[in-house]
Homo-oligomer: A and B are copies of this chain.
């Protein structure tokens, strides 16, 4: 064991997560912050950005499968996909499992993350060599602002909403994303913990509700994200993602995603009402 017991210093969490790392393999401070790779006995290889664990080999599939497959299986024929962020390649890997996909564009602001993933996280970065994958090293918010009717799905796979990621949650960005999507398009963003960031989730929901026919929240349990009970906020132009028809076969290899997991991941209506609509930070007292 190394002498680096605590890696997690997430300013958005009232709990600090600490890990006894086996070995720190790589660390480099670039223009967008520090990128680090470590090995952990239980979690396997970890990607750590600015001291916050972004993924581990052991549980990354929960996040990446749910970010990609819920919208892609809700859409009847997802062909052109935009991933903003996601430089580790995990979301791209899942998107490319859909044989309807013609082109998956990954707009990552920090090319260093892609290089590190290709070197240290081969099980995540496998999709970069797929001919349908197209990488642009660019600011995702600026990219989206230039596009019209270009994508069937837009996925925001970003860090905590601070610094470079902050522009991905502005009112303008949601309007631009909606315009960049074709008819029937679907937007999903990771939106932090339902325990710790309820006000943030509510804000995103209300913005999505102004641009999309359906705005909703689904969750996934991720052990290494502080607060767990992780949320994805989804905006859909025409299909209710809760009542998706699942017209295409879903017999692709997945560790967590399945039709019943998809349905079960949406918050029960009573929780939507109490947590998201009641306009209060905490539910009513007993």
Contacts and interface: CB of A to CB of B under 8 A. Distances in A.
Interface of A: 5-6, 14-20, 40-43, 58-59, 61, 93, 123, 193-196, 219, 221, 223-224, 227-229, 253, 255-256, 258-261, 263-264, 268-271, 274, 282-286
Contacts of A258: 268, 270-271
Nearest to A252: B286
State the copy count for this chain: 2
A148 B271 CA distance: 39
Question: Which of A193, A196, A264, A274 has most chain B Cβ within 10 Å?
Answer: A264
Contact of A228 (B18, B228, B261): B228
A219 B265 CA distance: 12
10 contacts: A15-B17, A15-B19, A16-B17, A17-B17, A58-B282, A61-B286, A221-B221, A223-B227, A253-B284, A261-B270
Contacts of A286: 61, 93, 123, 253, 255
Contacts of A123: 286
Contacts of A59: 195
Given A221-B221, A258-B271, 20 more contacts: A14-B42, A15-B17, A15-B224, A16-B19, A16-B20, A58-B282, A123-B286, A195-B223, A196-B223, A223-B227, A223-B229, A253-B284, A255-B274, A258-B268, A258-B270, A259-B270, A260-B269, A260-B270, A260-B271, A263-B268
A271 B61 CA distance: 14
A250 to B, nearest CB: 10
A43 B16 CA distance: 13
Contacts of A6: 16, 18
A253 B93 CA distance: 45
B14 A41 contact: yes
A266 B144 CA distance: 39
Contact of A221 (B17, B194, B264): B194
A196 B284 CA distance: 32
A171 to B, nearest CB: 28
Contact of A18 (B15, B40, B255, B260): B15
Top 5 nearest A-B pairs (CB, nearest first) are: A228-B228, A260-B268, A14-B42, A221-B229, A258-B270
A112 to B, nearest CB: 25
Contacts of A15: 17-19, 223-224
Contacts of A20: 16
Contacts of A93: 286
Question: Which of A19, A61, A221, A258 has most chain B Cβ within 10 Å?
Answer: A221
Nearest to A283: B255
Nearest to A262: B268
